Each structure stands twice: as structure tokens, then as C-alpha cells.
A and B are shown apart, each in its own frame.
Chain A
Amino acid sequence: MFFFVLRRIGVMLLTAFALTFIVFYMTNLPPNLEKLAKSEASVRMSDEAVASWLDENGHSGSVFLRYAQWVGIAPGWVRLEDDGTTKGRCIEAGMTPEEAPRYCGILQGQWGFSTVFKQPVSEVLGRSLGATGWLMFWVMAVMVPTSLLLGVLSGMREGSRTDRVLSTFAIATTATPEYVSGVILIAVLASATAGVSPILHGWGWISGKTLFPGTATSAMENITFMNFALPVATIALYGIGYIARMTRASMTEVMTQQYIRTARLKGVSFRQVVMKHALRNALIAPFTVIMLQFPWLLNGVVISETLFNYKGFGWTLVQAAGNNDIDTLLGCSVVAVFVVLVTQLISDIGYVFLNPRIRLA
């Protein structure tokens, strides 16, 4: 088990390097850098001026060397200016070249400086991840129990009326992407002119103009049911349908297995057959799916946060991408890669505990 985890971590690191390199390469393509130079220095720069600005700020040279500097496995660039001062990647303002560390990359905790937020990237990411963490927590808390319950209920008696009703619901939600369900939710529940809000307001049941607020900005300070229900529902709905379908398929298959017949003919009651014999076997497949939902949630988070103006990870990512904020974008990608790989590791290890047939060396 120990060696297995060790090996998996080794593979993970390799994958992480490969993925971040791809992102680094894409964000540091010449047009992006030119845009960066023009936005940082002057919009009316000549091509020669752009080239020399990039050169002076360490954006020229081999992409591999720049990547290594960014990661922090190669010494940061150092340059003697014409005026006798020394500039360098690791030399911050008010620091002499002698005091500055040789390496300053992701590994040393130097995530760079955000050009959009005018703040170090680590601070931007820390704040936005905190906000997104809450969102994801509530999404999972709603999505996982609901979908497993739906899946097991519809899978235990295939073809029954319960099964058909629940399956219809699951298919409908999973066929609706977040940007559609988000808009529908806003139109129905959080619009002053459409949906149920004007009617309820007309009856005098709600004091405000809308039933739910259309933004979740206030949830940054204080999460309440009212300001968080819609963003959470937007992300969770799609996942509920998807996981419920998976659980149902797995459950119906398990219910036709011979060991279920054995249990039934042992005199075990239907309830116990489902709870004791079927459930654990049926959860093996959905477990992987649930773990795969974590990285996918990042994707849902982008849409939901932008839609409800909730300043979390997704919102930051959109801002960074829209404004050519290379350091923030790279920081976001590191976080995303990390989340994906760690959930995969957890999923593999958890699978072993659920399925005794898998044995690790």
C-alpha cells in the first residue's frame, strides 16, 4: 500500500510538470507577451521597444529556461542595467542583489504578481479559494447524498414507477448544462419581472422584489440559505442527475447478481438485501464518478460564480484570462492541476477500501 501511494505520487508529480508546462507555454506565447509589454509599459511601443522590454524583464530566451525559473528549479534571471543597478527576477524593490535568493518560483512560494488585482498572486488565490471552498462544500453536501439516494431508490426495483419518475428527473437535470439551469433558476426565482417572484410579491407573501437575490456577493461575508441556494443549486443539479444515473445503473446491475438471489433465498428481507448486500457493491462504481466530480466542479464553479458575481476561484480565473494576467492564470492552473491529481489519488485509494477484490502490493 505504501509503495503504491509512493508510486502514484511520483506519477502525479510528472503529470503535474507536464500539465503546467503546457499551460505555461500557451500563456507565454509571443502575442500574449507582446500584449503584456504594451499594457505594462506603453501601448504605442514599436516592435523593437517591445522586444527590448521583454528582454529586460526576463521574458526572452528559451521557454524551457523560463519555465524552470517559474517553477523555481533554475536560478532566477539577473541583469546588470546600464545605470549600474542590478535587476533580477528574485530581486524585489528595496532589496540588494546580495540579499535576494537565487531561486524564486512556485516551489519557493513566489507565485508572482497579479496585474489585474495589483496584489501578489498568492493572496488573490488564497482569498478566492477560501470563497470557492465554501461553495464546493455546500455543493457536495447537497449533491452526494441526494444523488446516491435517488440512484439507489430507482435502481433497486428496475422499471417500477419510482424508477421511471426519478430517472426522468435525473435525465432532465443532467441534460441541462449549468449556464442554462443557472439562467432558468434566475428567471424563475430571482427576477423581478418574470417567474414566481412578481406573483408572490403581488400576493404580499414576500417583502422584497424577488424571492431569492440574483447575486451571491453578500455570501462573501456571510453565507445564508437565501444568498447561497441558487449558486449551489446551479452546480449541484447537473451533478445530481449524473451521479444518480451512475448509481442507478450500478444498482440495477447488482440487483440482478446471483449473490442477491442467494441473499433473498436465505430469507433476508428486501430492505436488508438492499442495505446489507447490494449497497456496498453498488457504490463501488459511483465512488469513482463522485471523485471525478471534484475537478469538474471547478468548471461548474466558473459559470456559477460569474453568473452570481461570487468572487471565488472561478470568477478570478475569468478575470485573469480576460485581462491577460499571466501570473494569476498560471497560479490558477497549478491549483486546478493539484485538485485533479489529488482527487484521483483519493479515488484510487478509496476504491481499494470499498472493493476487497483489489489488492495492492
Chain B
Amino acid sequence: MTDTTWDPSKPILEIENLSISFFTRLREIPAVMDFSCTVMAGEAMGLVGESGCGKSTVALAVMRDLGKNGRIVGGSIKFKGRDLTHMSEEELRHIRGSEIAMIYQEPMASLNPAMKIGAQLAEVPMIHQGMARDEAWKLARQIVADVRLPDPDRILNAYPHQLSGGQQQRIVIAMALMSKPALLILDEPTTALDVTVEAGVIDLVKDLGHKYGTSMLFISHNLGLVLDVCNRLCVMYSGEAVETGNVKDVFDKMRHPYTQALFRSIPLPGADKNSRPLVAIPGNFPLPHERPTGCNFGPRCSYFAEGRCNAGDIPMVDVRDANRHESRCIRIEEIDWDAPLQAGKVFEKTPVGRVVLKLDDLKKYYSVSSGAFGSGSKKVVKANETLSFEAREGETLAIVGESGCGKSTFAKVLMGLETATSGQIMLFDENIQSTPIQSRNVDTISQVQMVFQNPFDTLNPSMTVGRQIIRALEIFNYGKSDEERRDRMLELLDLVKLPRAFAERMPRQLSGGQKQRVGIARAFAGGAKVVVADEPVSALDVSVQAAVTDLLMDIQRKNATTLLFISHDLSIVRYLSDRVMVMYLGHVVEMGTTDQVFSPPYHPYTEALLSAVPIADTRVIKQRIVLEGDIPSAMNPPPGCPFQTRCRWKGKVAGNLCETVMPPVRVLEGQHQIKCHLPDDVLANMEPVIKIAAE
């Protein structure tokens, strides 16, 4: 259904001065104000911003699916010259799915669990082109092959839960492509996926964009991904577009203080926790009904000028000497944009002390039954295999790997939530591998603490913040009286840089970053010597991530804590860890200092992992390595080397060594350990994955 009157040289999508509000019983909450952007044919437009900035609302407004409370209160959305804001339900129905298609954040939730994949795909052309069922299934089969899924016939007859997360997302993409739409909206399409899977999906999206000439509206909080996928970029802050332009212009010659601050708060190659720490954006994101007058970013901006920035509405202005580059800053001409970042505090590298934690040949097996009702044969999941390492006082050891690699199992065993199958965990000179948390003494419990991934679920919603910290102190037998504990609680709030008044607040009154600070305060309440931080910042926004990471480093420096930092985000790992341990299917495949792991020789898995991480720096040249297939199930690991099914170096090993023999741990120079069969000369000749081009 192509509109014949539409001229392909005109924009596909033209949003002008769009304002969207949500109406609650109390008030009208403006979610998006005065938003404009254009997407030309074949162009990929990135929409970047932190959570709550209104980027998803814009996407849903284009689909005209704002729910009961949302309403477009001003402006227009023109798709191929037709205004979507004034269309009837019936007209919209013809556009949805056939001309504009959407790809969602959580693939599992966006597929119907009770319908076969084939039926869900075939539905699209059956509705829009009136295609016959057989023909539609044939087309579905072809598109499934197009999104590079193996064995399309099996997949068409499968239910969504039978596929892995990456496969599900490919199906969602296939569904969007079924009727060759002119515009594709991608709402954080890879946030729920692992990095190597993400890299595959992003590759696919880019290729399909070229192949079908589809325009894209790509919504993401990840600047690296946007650099990878998009031609143009729009940065949003608190419901407004603050900067628009070509990706390269915005990345290299940013003209808005928020964009600049955002780039300074993400760990790019070259940042280092001691010599070049990240600069967090001060303050918090304003709530939609508490926005300041004038520039929304004003209160957090280091270029803020009283009386000008907060005088009245700030318009979008063109950047001088640039092509379609606009910024919403009143002082755009005055700020020296190329001024180098003022060096912040520079820290001494903390000395590494005695061995605090020593693991020796730790194994954790689970036996599971394969049937839903407990029948069938028992299988063993080898969640952790032969884990041996030491962690010293004041050291940050990062544990890296994708979901299912066993890093969380290890944390559970260390904390005592599970007991080890065999092997030893020595905390100072005490064996704790087979003591569950209930029978650990108070000392051990307060020495080993944890900071959890999701600060939203780990605080008791019906207890004040202060009370929760005091409760931890009580459990750790800290202090003699309530006053003493109360004083200590206030000190802890100071430690995590929260105002003392927060002691009386309930968790719901706190933002995500503030909640995570409370979680950190609780973990350090008993003077913990070992803190396991399980993805402590991955649920937080980029600007907050920097602040929380900084805080963790700060406390570590003061207390000489050993930090076990579990993460899948290699950028942040590179930034803050001293040593890195890479895990795959329960095995440690590589371990060494951060420099050793991040430069060749690599373990082939580490190499792929590094290549998959999107980096928001235009100077970085990456070698593209896309892993084929999915992580094998831990219940049924491949024989020999666990990584052999996806390894691109396998051909360099003589015979079928990789398929049959588990590689031994090899110690290269400087205690750098690699579990691989590759001969020395191949390892020695590996190229670095990430290179920074000469300027």
C-alpha cells in the first residue's frame, strides 16, 4: 500500500513541535515538549537519553499508542506527508504493521506465548495484503531465513519459549519486516540481550536496513550502539530534544552541555579510575512536574548563567558552520567547546595488600530433573568448574561473562546462599565453602557482603532508609546502644554521600541511584572486607552510573576493601578493575591484570567479547567478530573445550584436540592465565581488537 503522491526525496517521518502529556487525577504531566525531528528515506535516526526523558513516548506517539492517559497536546507527526495525529483508528490500523513496524525491548514479553511463531509472523501479510495462509507461511519461512535463523521450518512450528533470547529478538525483527515497512521503530532492541548476542542482532539490523532501504528510528541509552547503527542522532533530556545532528558531528563536535557531560560520564577507552576518573553529572534528573523554568538541564549544568539560562524557554538553534546540526543552548557561542576536561582529582593507585580470599578448585554442580513435574532423568548442571584464584586487600577483581556463565552462582556460593560441591574457599584463614549463611558467625557475615543488581527490589519498601541500615548494624552486633548505632548510621549516610535527612525517608521517595547508595551503605555497615558487587550499576542510568562507581572506588580506597565486581559491561570493567577473570560456561577461560586481558594474546572468547562491546568513540576502530549460534546449555556442555562450538580459531589447532580434550590452564608471562589449546605462536600473533586511530 504505497502512497503514490509521496515524493521519495521528502522526509519519511517529520515530527514538528510535538507535545505529549499524560493526564492523571492530580495533574497533567508533560512527557514530551516541543519535539521536532525528521527522518529521511533510508536514514537511521538515533534517539538517545536517560530513562524518563521521553524517548519511548515519542516512539509510541508515532504509533499513536499512548494508552488511556496519554494524549498528543500539540504539534504534528507527518508520515509520508500524512498527519498521523488526525487519523482514525481504522486508518491507523492500515499503517501499523504494514508501513510502520516496531521492535521492542523485551522479545519474550512481546511474543504471544500461546501462538506458534509461524502463525504470529504469517498474520501480518494476511491482515495487510489479504494473503492466503499458505503463501503467508511461505513468506514467513523466507523472512526467518533472512534474519539468519537456522532451521526455519522448526522455528516456524515452535512456541516462543522454546527459543533463546537472541532468537526471539530475531523473530520480532522478522515480524516487523514481514510487510517491508517504510519505517522501523526500534525501542532499545538489545537491552535485554547479552553483548555477543547484541552484536549479532545489531549487525542484522544494519544489513537489513541496507537491503530493504528501511528508515529507522533507533531508541537507545547506549551511545556506542547509536554510533554503530545510526546516521543521525537526537539527544533528549527531560522531555526535550537538546541536540540533533549527524552522528559524527554530535560525537566529535558536541554543542550542548548535557551531551558533553554524558560523554564525560561514560567510561571510554583511556579513562582510568586513578589518573582520569569519570565526571558524574551532579544532581538528579528533574521529575516531569518539577522541571525548572528555562533550560531543563540548567540546575545540573556547569556553564549555568543565572538570569539567562533560567529566564524563559530556550529555543533550538542551528549550530554555525554545520549541516543540520541544532542545539538547545543559549550560550552556544560563548562556551569554549574544545577546552580540555579539567583534570579532576587524581588518585594514587591503592597498594594491594595481603591475600583476603583464596579459592582453590571450587566446584558447584546442581542436579536438576529435566521434567516439569520432577520426573525424567536427573542431569547435572556444572555451574562452576575448577575455580581457583586469590583476591587481595584493596584489590578490584572483575568477573566477566555472559548470562549463564556461572558468575552469579559463584557469588551465591561465596555468600553462603549455596554450598560448594567440592573445593575450598578461604576467607583469611577460615574455610567457608560448606558453611551455609545460617550457620556462619556474625563476623564472617559482616566481612563478606553484597551489593545487588537491582536497587529497586532489594530495599524493604515499608521501612525507612535509616531503620534498614540500623537493622543491618543490629544484626552485625555493632555498638552497645541504639544511640551508638544511630550515629554510625548517619556516618554511613555521609560515607555514601546522601544527606542525613534521608534517614527518615522511605525507599519509594528515592531515585535509583540513591537507592543503590543505601544498598552500598548497608553492605559496608559491618566494615565488610570483601564486597561482591553483582552488576551494581547496570540498572542505573549512565550519568548516575559514574557517580555510583566513583563512590564504590572511594569507599574501597578508604577501607581497603576487596571488591569482586561482577559485570557484563566490559567498558566499566576496564575502567575500574585491577584484575579481570573471564568466565564461559562455568570455566575461567582467562585471568590476568586488566591490561593483560584487554590486549593480545586473548582467549578467543575474550576477543569476541571485546569486539562485541559498542564503544561511543568515533576514533575507535574495531575488528568485527560475530559469534555464531547461542551459548550451549550448561546442562549439556560440548565435549572438550567449552567454547569450541563458536570458536573462530579452532582451525589453528592441530587435529580434533578442541573437540575432545579440555584445555589445560596455561600460565603466560606475568601470571596471565589462559585456558586454550592454541599454539604459542598463534597467540603471540593475535591482533588487538580495539585500536584507536591516530588523530
Contacts and interface: CB of A to CB of B under 8 A. Distances in A.
Interface of A: 3-4, 7, 257-259, 261-269, 272, 276-277, 280-281, 284, 354-361
A354 B98 contact: no
B371 A268 contact: no
Contact of B96 (A7, A258, A259, A264): A264
Interface in B93-113: 93-98, 101-102, 104, 106, 109-113
A276 B123 CA distance: 10
9 contacts: A259-B112, A262-B104, A262-B172, A267-B95, A276-B123, A355-B113, A356-B113, A357-B113, A358-B372
A3 B114 CA distance: 24
Nearest to B377: A361
Given A258-B106, A361-B375, A265 B112 contact: no
B110 A258 contact: yes
Contact of B373 (A262, A265, A272, A361): A361
A87 to B, nearest CB: 49
Contacts of B305: none
Contacts of A267: 93-98, 124, 127-128
Interface residues of B, number: 34
Interface in B59-105: 63, 65, 93-98, 101-102, 104
A266 B115 contact: no
A152 to B, nearest CB: 15
4 A-B pairs with the lowest CB-CB distances in the bound complex, closest first: A361-B371, A267-B97, A361-B376, A266-B97
Nearest to B162: A356
B304 interface: no
Nearest to A281: B114
Given A262-B172, A262-B175, A266-B175, 7 more contacts: A259-B111, A265-B63, A265-B102, A268-B123, A357-B113, A357-B159, A361-B370
Contacts of B371: 4, 359-361
Given A4-B375, A258-B104, A356-B161, A268 B127 contact: yes
Interface string B104-147: 10100111111100000001100110000000000000000000
Contacts of A360: 371-373
Contacts of A264: 65, 96
A262 B98 contact: no
B49 to A, nearest CB: 21
Contacts of A358: 372
Contacts of B94: 267
Given A360-B373, A361-B373, A281 B112 contact: yes
Nearest to A357: B161
A351 to B, nearest CB: 11
Contacts of A262: 102, 104, 110-112, 172, 175
Nearest to A358: B372
Interface string B159-187: 10100000000001001000000000000
Interface in B363-394: 369-373, 375-376
Nearest to B103: A262
A8 to B, nearest CB: 9
Contacts of A361: 369-373, 375-376
B98 A356 contact: no
Contact of A266 (B106, B113, B127, B161): B127
A359 B110 contact: no
A276 B172 CA distance: 18
Contact of B110 (A7, A259, A276): A259
A281 B375 contact: no
A145 B241 CA distance: 52
Contacts of A3: 375
Contacts of A276: 115, 123
Contacts of A269: 93, 127
A86 to B, nearest CB: 50
Q: Which of A267, A276, A358, A361 has the most CB of B within 10 A?
A: A267
Nearest to A8: B373
Nearest to B98: A267
A139 to B, nearest CB: 29
Contact of A265 (B65, B113, B159, B376): B65
A4 B375 CA distance: 8
Contacts of A280: 114-115
Nearest to A354: B114
A10 B520 CA distance: 52
Given A258-B104, A259-B111, A281-B114, A266 B370 contact: no
A258 B63 contact: no
A288 to B, nearest CB: 15
Contacts of B63: 265
A266 B375 contact: no
A339 B369 CA distance: 31
B392 to A, nearest CB: 46
Contacts of B115: 276-277, 280
Contacts of A261: 65, 110
Contacts of B123: 263, 266, 268, 276
Nearest to A157: B68
B114 A356 contact: yes
A246 B303 CA distance: 58
A343 B109 CA distance: 32
A9 B338 CA distance: 78
B219 to A, nearest CB: 15
Nearest to A267: B97
A161 B441 CA distance: 60
Contacts of B112: 259, 262-263, 277, 281
A277 B123 CA distance: 11
Contacts of B114: 280-281, 284, 354-356
A3 B113 CA distance: 26
B109 A259 contact: yes
A266 B136 CA distance: 15
Contact of B97 (A258, A265, A281, A354): A265
A359 B113 contact: no
Contact of A258 (B95, B109, B175): B109
A259 B115 CA distance: 11
B159 A356 contact: yes
